[in-house]
Amino acid sequence: MTNPAVGVMMRVMIMIIEQTCSHCSGTKVFLDALAKWNTFKQEWVLHQEYDHAYCRDCDTECDITERNISNGT
């Protein structure tokens, strides 16, 4: 007996977001954040992000603009 669920195509939607500079649309934007040491992972884990952002493309403080770069198909 065949399973009717087999062959049903699941369409996976993947949205890819780019964080860009509000001044120059560059992508070398950095966010102030707090990292917390995780002894189990033996690495710094991002704990909290702040609103203050800096762009290395135009060397200034900026606002972050989110851009959806998924191809819409």
Q: Show the site string, 19-38: x = touches Zn ion by CB under 5 A, - = not.
A: --x-xx-x------------
Under 8 Å between Cβ of 72 and 14: no
- Binding to Zn ion by residue 64, rule CB under 5 A? no
Residue 12 identity (one-letter amino acid)? V
- Binding to Zn ion by residue 53, rule CB under 5 A? no
- The residue (of 24 and 64) whose beta carbon lies closer to Zn ion is 24
Residue 28: both structure tokens together: 């070398």
Stretch that binds Zn ion, among 7-15, 17-25, 36-44, 65-73 (CB under 5 A): 17-25
DSSP tally for the chain: helices H, then strands E: 0, 5
Residue 49: both structure tokens together: 């992000």
Residues of the shown chain interacting with Zn ion in the complex, contacts defined by CB under 5 A: 21, 23-24, 26, 55, 57-58
